Amino acid sequence: GEGIETTLSLRCALPDMAMAAALSAAHLAAMLFPPNLRRLYVILDNDPAGDGARHSLLERATDAGIEAIVLSPETEDFNEDLRHFGLAALRASIADQLMRKDRICYLTRAA
């Protein structure tokens, strides 16, 4: 995830999913991938810095053979989504963005 608040907010919805906060869009774009990583969910803020980080990170992940999927907030970031809409709505908004088996694994347990 891009920032601490964004990552922690999504962590509330997906408590069993491994996550790391990069602390900024620039750090997110430069993130080092663990050697066994096969799928990466990218969580970032809905702003120009997030757009740039997304492009760079998706390109690097693809080049490394990692399936990269962007999770997009409805507002400026997932923290704002959580505060404005609540946890149940946040889970619902990300459900369609997750791969089916991850949705079953992480959202079924979190409910």
Residue 15 pLDDT > 60, yes or no? yes
Q: How many CA atoms lie within 13 A of 26 on its CB side?
A: 0
Q: pTM for this one? A: 0.86
Are 104 and 95 in contact, with CB atoms under 8 Å apart? Answer: no
Residue 111 pLDDT > 60, yes or no? no
15 or 44, which is more confident: 15
Taken in order 77, 82, 84, 90, is the CA torsion positive or negative?
positive
φ/ψ of residue 77, rounded to 5: -160, 170
Are 74 and 93 in contact, with CB atoms under 8 Å apart? Answer: yes
